[in-house]
């Protein structure tokens, strides 16, 4: 039987071999953390390689994602469907083993990591999801939601500001089933970190309210095991285990140095490392007894079977709850959601209310919320401004997680990355809100949601210079262009209550990516529509106001749709026929078939003017180089919103002038 060190050395060997063959990668972290991983995965981690999606599995997140070969080695060795050929194919095109762990490539990869700090943030979100889901479904004697979240992280994760945001909140919310392992090796790519990272990390986490286990020898399996036992014994606080390790452990000439952080060891050093570790096997060669020592299929299947029996007992005692639990963890919507949502959309059209779209958004939550027990909302402060609390909202707190609303505090980036963790965990449809301007703090997490195809719903209010007196620091200009340029993100900017209701329905029903819902502070006039026009909103862009023989097309979104309609009326009075197109979601419109797109933006009508109180440049893809854009080309100013609209040219007269100029 292979020893613990032998089993850990299998990770070291695979990691250095794969990086050497690719001639790129990061061997240092996998080699340094191999002993910790061996203890955790073989003695504690509840998972089933035969069913990577088992609902009640423990979650493992490699936050220092550059050490990806650690994770790939663990998955391969423990029996996941990740054959040795994929290990050999590390970092190659279309491999299941890309340079950083990518969700959806290899089974067992719980999240995409690479941007440092986001893995620990995802893990906090997963741990919070476990706590809330358990509070909602567990009953005395029936803990069907009961699993741990583990994460590995390095000093880079801790230097990133997002780690402060989420770890502070994790302590406040008492996420007792979260255990983080800090790989304290003192090395980053630039060398010894003492010159730029001198924090007292244990004291920092104690201040957050964490249980801290300091000075653990990360190469002593007994010490690691004792630390994990102590972490599990503390159920009211998350635990940080600070592990002293040697980066590149086993490499005679490069261990403990930055030389092994982000580059292959080299052929000669790999040979020397084999000798130093007593590893007598060839490249990518793992002995049968090592595979036997690692294989987790039998133990994982037994654990899942035992849990399935628990679920059956739960079903007998609480049949309705069991049915709801299974629906939610499958990700299925209630059967009648779509029809009920459509009825609400029509109700909005019939009422024709003039309200700010942020208020329209809250009305949507009041309508859809009772239909969706899986709805889990929140805001990075500003809940009273972005109107994300609805009539059925119930706070999630440290001592009572049986709620559906999270006060994230002023943590836009942390909130957004935690939302991705909640989405990855499953069982919820989650949304989180801030002002549109402050998506800047969170942009990378929004990008990660799109990259991972996760259903995070980002709610952004106060959407333009119409915000007014708070001035240009709070007035978004270029942010919507950034959102729209993000692949796989649907960005909605609705013009009234009806489009707001459609945007929420679309975001809720979408299962393969995130949505950004962008709402106004100021009141927006409702637009009259036919039944067909209401149906066409869901296609992202549609003809809102037409004429017999249009000479020009006006394209607008959000608060500027009313302006475009008024300008079209003025032009009609001058004998100029203009079509008005509302385009609340340009990405969905662009994905429609060519016939539909051409029916809205008729190719022969070259006189086109886009109107939006945000950055102008985005719209040239729709108006063409010979078209016009009434938009922003500078930052805003501090003044009442109506004055700013006039100051920056968002007037009927200016839109009319641009249309006439476009017609020529």
* Catalytic sites, residue numbers: 412
Separation of alpha carbons 30 and 33, rounded Å:
5
For residues 69 and 34, the answer to whether their CB atoms sit within 8 Å is no
The Cα diameter of the chain in Å comes to 90
Q: CA distances (Å), 332 to each of 28, 51, 454, in order?
A: 42, 20, 15
Separation of alpha carbons 88 and 80, rounded Å:
16
HSE, CB side, 13 Å, CA atoms: give it for residue 155: 23
Beta strands across the sheet bearing 59-62: 59-62, 149-154, 178-184, 239-244, 211-217
Separation of alpha carbons 491 and 81, rounded Å:
36
Separation of alpha carbons 214 and 240, rounded Å:
8
Please provide the DSSP assignment of 451-497 as one string: HHT--EEEEEES-SGGG-TT-TTT--SSHHHHHHTSTT-EEE--SSH
For residues 451 and 417, the answer to whether their CB atoms sit within 8 Å is no
Separation of alpha carbons 605 and 492, rounded Å:
25
- CA 157 from chain centre, in angstroms, equals 17
For residues 481 and 615, the answer to whether their CB atoms sit within 8 Å is yes
Phi and psi, residue 654, nearest 5°: -70, -40
Coil, strand, or helix at residue 498?
helix
- CA 350 from chain centre, in angstroms, equals 36
Coil, strand, or helix at residue 126?
helix
Q: Which residues are bridge partners to 553 per DSSP?
A: 579, 608
Coil, strand, or helix at residue 283?
coil
Separation of alpha carbons 634 and 650, rounded Å:
14
Q: What angle do CA 253, 117, 449 make, to 5 degrees?
A: 125
The continuous run of DSSP H or E covering 26 comes out as none
For residues 69 and 19, the answer to whether their CB atoms sit within 8 Å is yes
Q: CA distances (Å), 246 to each of 85, 586, 592, in order?
A: 29, 51, 54
């Amino acid at each position: 039987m292979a020893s613990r060190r032998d089993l850990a050395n299998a990770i070291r060997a695979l990691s250095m071999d794969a990086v050497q063959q690719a001639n790129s990668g990061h061997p240092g972290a996998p080699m340094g953390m191999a002993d910790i991983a061996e203890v955790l995965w073989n003695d504690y981690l509840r998972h089933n390689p035969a069913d990577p999606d088992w609902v009640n599995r423990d979650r493992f997140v490699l936050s220092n994602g550059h050490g990806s070969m650690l994770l790939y080695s663990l998955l391969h060795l423990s029996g996941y469907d990740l054959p040795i050929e994929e290990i050999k194919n590390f970092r190659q095109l279309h491999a299941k083993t890309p340079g950083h762990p990518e969700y959806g490539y290899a089974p067992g990869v719980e999240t995409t990591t690479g941007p440092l700090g986001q893995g620990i943030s995802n893990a906090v979100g997963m741990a919070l999801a476990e706590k809330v889901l358990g509070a909602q479904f567990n009953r005395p004697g029936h803990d069907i939601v009961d699993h741990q979240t583990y994460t590995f992280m390095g000093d880079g994760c801790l230097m990133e500001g997002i780690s402060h945001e989420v770890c502070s909140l994790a302590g406040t919310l008492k996420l007792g089933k979260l255990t983080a392992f800090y790989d304290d090796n003192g090395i980053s790519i630039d060398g010894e970190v003492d010159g730029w990272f001198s924090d007292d990390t244990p004291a920092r986490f104690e201040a957050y309210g964490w249980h801290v286990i300091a000075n653990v020898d990360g190469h002593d399996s007994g010490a690691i095991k004792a630390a994990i036992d102590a972490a599990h014994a503390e159920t009211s606080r998350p635990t940080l285990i600070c592990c002293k390790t040697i980066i590149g452990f086993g490499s005679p000439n490069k261990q403990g140095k930055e030389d092994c952080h982000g580059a292959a060891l080299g052929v000669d050093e790999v040979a020397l490392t084999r000798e130093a570790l007593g590893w007598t096997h060839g490249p990518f060669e793992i002995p049968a007894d090592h595979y036997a020592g690692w294989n987790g299929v039998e133990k994982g299947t037994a654990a899942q079977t035992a849990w399935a029996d628990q679920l059956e007992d739960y079903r007998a005692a609480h049949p309705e709850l069991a049915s709801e639990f299974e629906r939610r963890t499958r990700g299925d919507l209630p059967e009648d959601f779509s029809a009920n949502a459509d009825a609400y959309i029509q109700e909005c059209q019939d009422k024709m209310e003039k309200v700010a779209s942020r208020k329209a958004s809250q009305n949507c939550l009041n309508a859809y919320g009772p239909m969706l027990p899986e709805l889990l909302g929140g805001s990075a402060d500003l809940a009273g401004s972005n109107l994300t609390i609805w009539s059925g909202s119930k706070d999630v707190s440290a001592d009572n997680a049986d709620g559906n609303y999270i006060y994230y505090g002023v943590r836009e980036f942390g909130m957004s990355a935690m939302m991705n963790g909640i989405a990855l965990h499953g069982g919820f449809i989650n949304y989180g809100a801030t002002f549109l301007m402050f998506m800047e703090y969170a942009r990378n997490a929004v990008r990660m949601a799109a990259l991972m195809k996760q259903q995070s719903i980002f709610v952004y209010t106060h959407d333009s210079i119409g915000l007014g007196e708070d001035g240009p620091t709070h007035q978004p200009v270029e942010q919507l262009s950034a959102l729209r340029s993000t692949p796989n993100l649907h960005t909605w900017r609705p013009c009234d209550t009806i489009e707001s209701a459609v945007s929420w329905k679309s975001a809720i029903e979408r299962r393969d990516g995130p949505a950004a819902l962008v709402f106004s502070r100021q009141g927006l006039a409702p637009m009259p529509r036919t039944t067909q026009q209401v149906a066409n909103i869901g296609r992202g862009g549609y003809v809102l106001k037409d004429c017999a023989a249009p000479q020009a097309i006006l394209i607008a979104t959000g608060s500027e749709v009313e302006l475009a309609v008024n300008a079209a009326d003025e032009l009609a009075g001058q004998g100029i026929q203009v079509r008005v197109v509302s385009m609340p979601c340009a990405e969905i419109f662009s994905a429609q078939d060519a016939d539909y797109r051409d029916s809205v933006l008729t190719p022969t009508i070259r006189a086109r003017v886009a109107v939006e109180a945000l950055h102008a440049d985005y719209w040239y893809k729709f108006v063409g180089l010979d078209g016009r854009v009434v938009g922003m080309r500078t930052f805003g100013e501090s003044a009442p919103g109506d004055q700013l609209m006039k100051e920056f040219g968002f007037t009927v007269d200016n839109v009319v002038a641009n249309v006439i100029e476009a017609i020529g």
